[in-house]
Amino acid sequence: MWNWILRPLLKPRQSLPGNQLLIARTTSGLVIVGSLVLFLVALPARMAWLNRLALQTASVFQHTTSLDPSLIQAFTRFFPPFALVIEIGVMLLYCLTAAFIFARRSEDWLVLMSAAGFTAFALHITPTLNTWMGNDPTHIWIGILAKGIGLGLAFLFLYLFPGGYYSPAWMRLFFLGWIVWVVLWLLYPDSLLSFRDPYTISVEGFILLMAWWGIGIFSQIYRFAYVSGPLERQQTKTITFEATIVVIAYSLYVPLREAIKVMPQPELAQIIFQIAAPYLFLVLVGVIPIMITFSILRYRLWDIDLLIRRTLIYSILSVTLLAIYLALVVSLQALVSGWMEGLPNYALAGTTLAVVVLINPLRRRIQDSIDRRFYRHKYNAEKALEWFATLARNEADMNKLTSSLVAVVQDVLQPEQVSLWLPATNMVRIRVRSDESASLQSDR
């Protein structure tokens, strides 16, 4: 075992020999089943806690808001089962994903480790087990061990995927450090080392937890930049993108939780945050196993480059439009503050209309900037094709047209050699020779 931790020599594409494969499958299956059993055992305690939270929320609403009592009563009835359905749904999604990849690739030790990690990590990230742990020392020990395994397998996955080896090599020291961390966590369950509840964690504990996730993301970025081939880079890109999105979302969770404490009516703000934020985060976390599954199985059902590109474009666009809207509202408020209270409805309508008009121009500018900065090859290819399309409509000289066609093919595909034939049958044939050979035929 220690040899495997310090110097794993197995490759994901190689099958484990007889007994080792049986042990790996059994261990992975035990982690999956054990995590699911713990989750099911914790459900009654979780439901009781959610009922108490609903009653507490209803009391706060009654004292701090003018909501209709019937709405508050309806919330008290429907919130606990709704919240529990989300928790069960996320756990079920992780378990089904684990079972699917286990069945499809059970000869691959990295897949077996990933399947076990899915359910163990889901047990950590869903708040269900936290209630069951309570103050019972036995429950606390079992819960810490389960959460330590879940986080450890998640970190190990980031250290090893997709090649099955540590990258960089010294990353193995961090996994050994995590084993020591879990032992200390078991010995001192109430110390700064405790990551028991990611939703009520202290600010100091949050910083330490984010450092562990940052190390894993660094490993994936390093592998992408210096180690991986084309296929592994596509897989690494998918994992890094999803992990980064989730870590960014979680990195906002604790600061927002702390900022709410100094807001007006902090009791109301805190209770709303407590009933809404964890479940919004769980919905986001539920996407992780889907994307990882496609990366493991090497399916290409979507283009991750397109997803990343659109995420960048629309995230920047949303932030820019919001900033413009707020700036306009504040500016107009400052202008009219001398002779009227608040902005009239027509001013707000005009501001909204101005922001709507800016959507398409801003989107095009942002898209061009992102393409030039991050997708330069694609940007250059699109510009070259646009230029040739314009030339083909206006150029009557066949020699200039054919030489331009060859130049565009050379620029877009960058082959080692390009040949162009114009046979008497009015067929244009371009043959491109490169490492990834391709041919293009078109009727004139």
Task: Assess whether 294 and 322 both reside in one domain.
Answer: no
Q: Is the pTM higher than 0.85?
A: no
> Is the previous residue joined to 162 through a cis bond, with omega within 30 degrees of 0?
yes
Task: Assess whether 325 and 206 both reside in one domain.
Answer: no
Q: CB count, 10 Å around CB of 423?
A: 8
> Can you tell me the distance from the alpha carbon of 314 to that of 385, in angstroms, rounded to the nearest whole number?
25
Task: Assess whether 428 and 279 both reside in one domain.
Answer: no
Task: Assess whether 396 and 359 both reside in one domain.
Answer: no
Quick check: 433 pLDDT over 70?
Answer: no
Cβ atoms of residues 259 and 277 within 8 Å: no
User: What are the phi and psi torsion angles at 396 (to 5°)?
Assistant: -105, -15
Q: Which amino acid is at 222?
A: Y
Give the residue-averaged pLDDT of 96-114.
82
Task: Assess whether 146 and 285 both reside in one domain.
Answer: yes
Query: Could you report the per-residue pLDDT of 31-83, keeping only the tens digit for each?
Result: 999 999 999 999 999 999 999 999 999 988 888 888 888 888 888 889 999 99
* 364 within domain boundaries: yes
Residue 81: per-residue pLDDT? 92
Residues 289/295/298/304 CA torsion (nearest 10 deg): 120
Quick check: 282 pLDDT over 80?
Answer: yes
Query: CB neighbours of 8 closer than 8 A, spacing ≥ 6?
Result: 160, 164, 165, 166
Task: Assess whether 369 and 389 both reside in one domain.
Answer: no
Burial class (CB in 10 A: 0-12, 13-18, 19+), 384: middle
Cβ atoms of residues 43 and 32 within 8 Å: no
Residues spanned by the domain of 229: 2-302
Residue 424: per-residue pLDDT? 54
| Helical spans, DSSP H, in 261-375 | 266-285, 288-296, 304-336, 345-374
Higher pLDDT, 149 or 418: 149
Q: Which of 341, 374, 407 is the last residue of a domain?
A: 374
> Can you tell me the distance from the alpha carbon of 363 to that of 355, in angstroms, rounded to the nearest whole number?
12
440 DSSP β-pair partners? 430
Task: Assess whether 360 and 413 both reside in one domain.
Answer: no
> Can you tell me the distance from the alpha carbon of 147 to that of 196, in angstroms, rounded to the nearest whole number?
7
Place of tokens 């606390």: 140
- Tell me how far apart the terminal alpha carbons of the chain are, to the nearest angstrom: 66
What is the 8-class DSSP label of residue 65? -
* 417 within domain boundaries: yes
Could you tell me whether strands 438-443 and 427-433 are parallel, antiparallel, or unpaired per DSSP bridges? antiparallel
Residue 417: per-residue pLDDT? 66
Task: Assess whether 217 and 298 both reside in one domain.
Answer: yes
Residue 136: per-residue pLDDT? 83
Overall number of domains in the chain? 3
Task: Assess whether 132 and 212 both reside in one domain.
Answer: yes
* 348 within domain boundaries: yes
- Mean pLDDT lowest for which of 139-143, 157-161, 229-233, 381-385? 381-385
Q: Which of 245, 275, 302 is the last residue of a domain?
A: 302
From the list 144, 204, 211, the residue with the least C-alpha distance to 174 is 211
* 308 within domain boundaries: no
* 146 within domain boundaries: yes
Q: Which of 336, 357, 374 is the last residue of a domain?
A: 374
Residue 300: per-residue pLDDT? 43
Radius of gyration of the chain measured on its C-alpha atoms? 28
Q: How confident is the model at residue 146 (pLDDT cuts 50, 70, 90)?
A: very high
Task: Assess whether 389 and 264 both reside in one domain.
Answer: no
Place of tokens 């894993």: 216
> Can you tell me the distance from the alpha carbon of 234 to that of 300, in angstroms, rounded to the nearest whole number?
9
Query: Could you report the per-residue pLDDT of 224-271, keeping only the tens digit for each?
Result: 888 777 667 766 676 667 777 777 888 888 888 888 877 766 788 888
* 310 within domain boundaries: no
Task: Assess whether 217 and 352 both reside in one domain.
Answer: no
Cβ atoms of residues 424 and 416 within 8 Å: no
Give the residue-averaged pLDDT of 357-380.
70
Task: Assess whether 84 and 225 both reside in one domain.
Answer: yes
Query: CB neighbours of 82 closer than 8 A, spacing ≥ 6?
Result: none
Residue 101: per-residue pLDDT? 80
* 196 within domain boundaries: yes
